[in-house]
Copies of this chain bind each other. A is one copy, B any other.
Amino acid sequence: MEVFELIQGIARTDANLIRSVDELNKAIDHIVMLIQDSSSLYLGGSYPSSAFLSITACEEVAKAHIGLFTDGTHPEKNGRNMFRNHKIKHQIAAMPTVPMGKRLENALGKDELERIMSMAQNAGFVQIRENALYFQRENDCLVVPSEKVDRDLARSLVLFAIEAFDDALVGSTKYSYEADDITDALFEQIKNT
């Protein structure tokens, strides 16, 4: 399902997840903290934990973005809240507007950007977040997260998370511009690694 179709189908509610500028700023602060954590882990060489937190940042971006006009009631499945569905949050974070700016494409390259967008849209992020935390058996071998998430993937994910934040939330409140200064600086720092 295309993301716009998905969002158009969402039930508008009076009891939205986010109900004021102050609340949106709180959510922005929280997302910036996740991006800072993910960035510092990446820069310290902890790629799996960094990747996990980058994906979490994307999930929270999606919630803050559409939580302004919905409580997350699922358009089709009554009783389910789409804010608790990882795949849907990843799809909403990967707005078609995210790859439109040149910054992310310049940092990742066109092919890698397409690969990351496709993973976000097709449950690839769901798999990565599991692989980034837990060891498991696979083809009769024990596989650990450091074998599943390498430096390049962690770098792509943190840059993607920053761009998704920028695209969805920066400009929504005055405070969001201050937050953007922090994440822009991290983007530049990580781009050059």
The interface residues of chain A, by DSSP majority, are classed as: helix
Measured CB to CB, the closest approach of chain B to A139, in angstroms, equals 13
Beta-carbon contact of A135 and B63 below 8 Å: yes
Beta-carbon contact of B30 and A37 below 8 Å: no
- Binary contact track A150-191/B, C-beta < 8 Å → 1, others 0: 000000000000000000000000000000000000000000
Task: Report B-chain residues with C-beta under 8 Å of the C-beta of A17.
Answer: 137, 142
* Cβ 8 A contact of A30, one of B33, B53, B145: B145
Task: Report B-chain residues with C-beta under 8 Å of the C-beta of A142.
Answer: 17-19, 23, 26-27
Beta-carbon contact of A134 and B46 below 8 Å: no
Task: Report B-chain residues with C-beta under 8 Å of the C-beta of A44.
Answer: 40
Interface presence of A133 (CB below 8 A): yes
Interface presence of A70 (CB below 8 A): no
Interface presence of A146 (CB below 8 A): yes
- Binary contact track A4-30/B, C-beta < 8 Å → 1, others 0: 000000000000011100010011011
Count residues on chain A whose CB falls below 8 Å from chain B CBs.
32
Measured CB to CB, the closest approach of chain B to A176, in angstroms, equals 15
The CA of A53 and the CA of B17, in the complex, are separated in Å by 26
Which of chain B's residues has its CB closest to A63's CB? B135
The CA of A23 and the CA of B138, in the complex, are separated in Å by 12
Beta-carbon contact of A133 and B56 below 8 Å: yes
Contacts A18-B142, A142-B19 known; A135 to B37 CB distance under 8 Å? no
**Which chain A residues numbered 10 to 68 have a C-beta less than 8 Å away from chain B?**
17-19, 23, 26-27, 29-30, 33-34, 36-37, 40-41, 44, 46, 48-49, 53, 56, 59-60, 63-64
